[in-house]
Amino acid sequence: MIDQSGIKSELKWLYNDLNNPNLQGARAAGRPVEQSTSKTYRGFGPEQMGYRSGVDADRELMAEAIRAYMAKTVAPKTAARIRSYVNKHKDLKHIIQFNSLIDLTAGTAGAAAAIGSTEADPTVHE
């Protein structure tokens, strides 16, 4: 499983943002929402969807983060962690390749990022 240390709060925020039915309803109705000040719009996690606390919920947090990453949702620390894990995994790196956005004028750093090197990716922290 991808290590969640240092990104757990971002994972929880992302999960809530994408799955909280109260938040989605308010957005659909065009009402302004502020997640940080309203209990109605925050704190929705995998447990509310039937996942057991602990490993099951943690796996669901990461699964949702990967789904969001693939759909181009913004969560920079989580995206960097997913990219680093998958690109280095002995089996997954041959099936999936997550590249960071690159500036085509960036010379060799851009070329290295284009071929999947995380050394040219400033968002990857080992």
| DSSP codes, 39-64 | GGGS---GGGGTPPTTHHHHHHHHHH
Question: What pLDDT, on a 0 to 100 scale, did the predictor assign at position 119?
Answer: 40
The reported pTM is 0.61
3-state SS, residue 123: coil
Please report, for the chain, how many H helices and E strands are present, in that order. 5, 0
Q: Return the domain boundaries, the chain.
A: 8-120
Average pLDDT of the residues in 74-93: 83
Question: What pLDDT, on a 0 to 100 scale, did the predictor assign at position 104?
Answer: 33
Question: What pLDDT, on a 0 to 100 scale, did the predictor assign at position 74?
Answer: 64
More confident residue, 60 or 75: 60
> pLDDT band for position 7 (50/70/90)?
very high
> pLDDT band for position 51 (50/70/90)?
very high
Rg (CA), the chain: 17
Question: What pLDDT, on a 0 to 100 scale, did the predictor assign at position 105?
Answer: 34
